[in-house]
Amino acid sequence: MYKKRKKTYERHNIWRSYSDMMAGLLLLFVLVLCISFMQAQKNYQEALAEKAAHQLTQDQLLAELQEREALLATQQTELDEQNSLLASQQNDLDEQAALLASQQQDLDEQSALVLSQQKELEKQNALMAQQQAALDEQENLMAQQQQKIEQIIGIKADLISDLKQEFDQQSLNVVIDETDGSIALDSNVLFAYNESVLTEEGNAMLGEILPVYCKVLMSEKYQSYLAEVRIDGYTDTDGDYLYNLQLSQERALAVANYLFVNAASFLTGEEQEQLKARLTANGHSMSNPVYDENGQINMDASRRVEIKFSLKDEEMINELKQVMDQASQKTQAEN
């Protein structure tokens, strides 16, 4: 009985608990619905407020958008103007670039021209250096030749001085030309008028003068420098040229003949041979007459026989000329 009652009580409690639970669930459901409704109401109110605020914001944004569009239009206008200015500036820049390119091309051409001129200048400098070296060589040769010529000139002066000294020591009144060392013998003493045979006075004159003159010339001191011993005959300007030429030649030969006939008395055998190798006799007719102080021809002085010498200075001058000609031809060939 007790167990049965207990089971009944337990069933009663189970249903009571279930009923309470269902009532709690219902109450919870009602509360949830209320809360949901209130939340929905609140959300609706907030949505309305948000919509109103959003509408206001849209109006503001639209106004701002219109302002921005107007600003953009203004900026677009300014941008178009700037683009037009930039296009103009770009055009100017292109023109300047083209001008600069043209100037650069001109500069390149000038640089190429300068480079070409520089190369040409270097070639000219090299050529000038070669020419300067050739000139230095020529100057050196000229200096050497000049030194030799000065030596010859000095020897000639010494020879003339020795001749004068020797004649003075022999107390012979002989006039020696200071320039070339020549002696003028009066034909009026040597020969009769229009004759070519030596007179006694002429033989005596030559016997005094020729030994002294030739001995000095053929001395060891001067022999190696002596190029020529000349006997030149001259007449006055009267008469026929050819006749005077023959007369002057015969008179020069007469003096030369006297010299060779009598040379053994004052020259050694070797000196005689050297004299033969150098002696010449020439007639000059009426050329080169002698003038007096008034510019008139002195007929007596013009009739003369001159004894003169020449050293190897002319040979040295000719040699110098040949050297200069060869150097000039070499320079022309190099150019």
Residue 147 has pLDDT above 70, yes or no: no
Q: Where are the domains of the chain?
A: 144-323
Question: What integer best gives the mean pLDDT of the chain?
Answer: 85
Give CA–CA dist 334/330, Å, rounded.
6
Q: What is the pTM of this model?
A: 0.54
Angle between helices 200-217 and 2-169 (to 10 degrees): 150
Report helix, strand or coil for 304: strand
Residue 167, number of CB atoms within 10 A of its CB: 20
Q: How confident is the model at residue 45 (pLDDT cuts 50, 70, 90)?
A: confident
- Lowest-confidence range among 43-47, 159-163, 331-335? 331-335
Q: Which amino acid is at 96?
A: Q
Give CA–CA dist 213/211, Å, rounded.
6
- What class does CATH assign to 144-323? alpha beta
pLDDT single digits (tens) 54-81: 888 888 888 888 888 888 888 888 888 8
Give CA–CA dist 234/278, Å, rounded.
21
Q: CA 231 → CA 63, 280, 304, 315, distances in Å?
A: 140, 6, 11, 20
Residue 15 has pLDDT above 90, yes or no: no
- Burial status of residue 317 (CB atoms within 10 A of its CB: 0-12, 13-18, 19 or more): middle
